[in-house]
Amino acid sequence: MSEAITERTLTEQLRDLSSGEYSSRDLTEAYLQRIEYSSGINAFITVSAEQAIKAADRADERRAAGETAPLLGAPIAHKDIFCEKGVRTSAGSKMLDNFISPYDATVVSKLRDAGAVSIGKTNMDEFAMGSSNEASFYGPVKNPWNTERVPGGSSGGSAAAVAASLCSAATGTDTGGSIRQPAAFCGITGLKPTYGRISRWGMIAYASSLDQAGPMARCAEDCALLLTHMAGPDQRDSTSSSEAIEDYSIALKSGISGMKIGICREFMEGLDSDVAAILDNCRTVLSDLGAEFREVSLPNSHLAIPAYYVIAPAECSANLSRYDGVRFGYRCEGPENLEDLYKRSRSESFGREVKNRIMVGAFALSAGYYDAYYRKAQQIRRLIKQDFEQVLGEVDMILGPTTPGPAFRLGEKVDDAKSMYLQDIYTISANLAGLPALSMPAGFTEAMPIGAQLIGNYFCEAKILKAAHQYQQVTDWHKKKPVVEKAS
């Protein structure tokens, strides 16, 4: 093999493992070395080296004994928002720096059951609130393509880890773009499935009605494989869907000839010219593969960001109330009384962005403001959903940008919340509508990757994965890899 084993796709690695090219232990150790080498990227909060090697050895033994499993021996990194039994699960917060989860998230147990090796927990914006990974208690993640730039957020650690070849693939969560935006910034493929497609049990909640787990990998084929083993109903999550799961890997194989793809007028207006040119190329490639394009309109899309920044903070203001210093997590020193315990435990351990959103959310829900903010935002959400339902009655999917531009510089937007929030302008509406959406590498500008986004209809993950996979059969943007320098 000319390329390093760490740089092969998950699908290729599984083939190699089964043909005995190398062992899971070889692969796991190679990744652990790379993680060490690339520690300057700061992609991981916790590296589970010992546990991973044990699991790799077990996978090798199973394979030697003739057993098989779909992901047997593949080292996967989990965003540190997924509870993993016996492992610190911090959600990027000082609040949970001491929290060792006593139980597994469904995503974690399902992937383990499919044979995956859990290699560690990736860095993230605190409680998934952020678009740059600068809001982590554990420090910012650096973009492997240029360490002066952000990797995106909130699943920035997972995106950077995949891009820098620190794991076979990773899990992420997406509430307003938190899988797709970092996938775009880091030049990888990331899928946010339909709301309810993957169980949220054990996934630390930010905004419950928007949060959705998904795979982050080198290519659509890997995402399809992972999705097959992450998706499915779960009695412990009432919002998980009982809609049948497909074998998404099989669904990839057929062509996309005759597939109808919409270009959303509102997404193209005022779009950065480099990004527009990249999208235009992307469109040409998909057309050559037989897709038919037409212009569509989502007239309420400009309302998505304001609606999101009411609904998500409102839900987070309640979801984060359990972090009170009473039962687990950070507790302030020498509380004088109950109120002091609450106030100091929370104010000493939550970061600025988390506090902002709790305040905004509590305000939006408060008596006298509920109708003007929360109820109104829910109405907008319904309008956005209706827009999509109409458009997706005419086309199979919508092609658009994932982000307004390439990864920005570290610190550039830290003090400009509005500009930071606008990063999610193209991704948020899929969360509000609950639709599946994918970001795939489609080109470069300023030597940084740019992503193209495909938004599909409910439970039509197979279609957007297929379009991305077919695109990746004739392009090599997803094969480009950054050169990561050794940490000093």
Which residues of the chain form contacts with another protein (CB under 8 A)? Answer: 82-83, 89, 91, 96, 99, 101-103, 105, 200-205, 207-209, 235-239, 314-315, 317-318, 320-324, 326-328, 338, 342, 362, 365-367, 370, 374
Q: Counting beta carbons within 10 angstroms of the beta carbon of residue 26, is it exposed (0 to 12), middle (13 to 18) or buried (19 or more)?
A: middle
Q: Counting beta carbons within 10 angstroms of the beta carbon of residue 135, is it exposed (0 to 12), middle (13 to 18) or buried (19 or more)?
A: buried
Q: Which of 24, 132, 136, 178 is catalytic?
A: 178
Among this protein's residues, is 168 annotated catalytic? no
Cα 397 → chain centroid: 20
Of 361 and 406, which has the nearer Cβ to another protein? 361
Of 1 and 100, which has the nearer Cβ to another protein? 100
Helix H or strand E encompassing 217? strand 212-217
Return d(Cα 142, Cα 485) in angstroms, integer: 12
Phi, psi of 170 (to 5 degrees): -145, 160
Question: What's the min distance (Å) between Cβ of 236 and another protein?
Answer: 6
Question: What's the min distance (Å) between Cβ of 88 and another protein?
Answer: 11
Write out the two tokens for 483. 């050169």
Of 218 and 346, which has the nearer Cβ to another protein? 346
Of 63 and 192, which has the nearer Cβ to another protein? 192
Query: What three-state secondary structure class fits 143?
Result: strand
Return d(Cα 215, Cα 221) in angstroms, integer: 11
Q: Which of 154, 158, 199, 301 is catalytic?
A: 154
Return d(Cα 6, Cα 265) in angstroms, integer: 40
Structural contact between residues 118 and 417, judged by C-beta atoms closer than 8 angstroms: no
CA-wise closest residue to 455 among 432, 431, 436, 434: 436
Of 22 and 195, which has the nearer Cβ to another protein? 195
Question: What's the min distance (Å) between Cβ of 101 and another protein?
Answer: 7
Return d(Cα 19, Cα 1) in angstroms, integer: 14
Q: Where would I find the beta strands (DSSP E) of 298-396?
A: none
Structural contact between residues 55 and 96, judged by C-beta atoms closer than 8 angstroms: no
Of 239 and 475, which has the nearer Cβ to another protein? 239
Q: Which of 79, 110, 142, 466 is catalytic?
A: 79
Of 284 and 321, which has the nearer Cβ to another protein? 321
Of 263 and 318, which has the nearer Cβ to another protein? 318
Return d(Cα 112, Cα 115) in angstroms, integer: 5
Question: What's the min distance (Å) between Cβ of 431 and another protein?
Answer: 13
**In the sheet that 397-401 helps form, which strands lie side by side, from edge to edge?**
44-47, 117-122, 75-79, 169-174, 212-217, 189-192, 437-445, 448-456, 397-401, 260-264, 292-296
Is the preceding omega at residue 154 within 30 degrees of 0, hence cis?
yes
Return d(Cα 412, Cα 423) in angstroms, integer: 12
For 79-105, letters b (16+ CB in 10 Å) and e give bbbbbbeebbbbbbbbbbbebebeebb
Question: What's the min distance (Å) between Cβ of 366 and another protein?
Answer: 5
Among this protein's residues, is 208 annotated catalytic? no
Question: What's the min distance (Å) between Cβ of 480 and another protein?
Answer: 35
Among this protein's residues, is 479 annotated catalytic? no
- Residue 30's CB is within 10 A of a number of other CB atoms, namely 17
Active site residues per annotation: 79, 154, 178
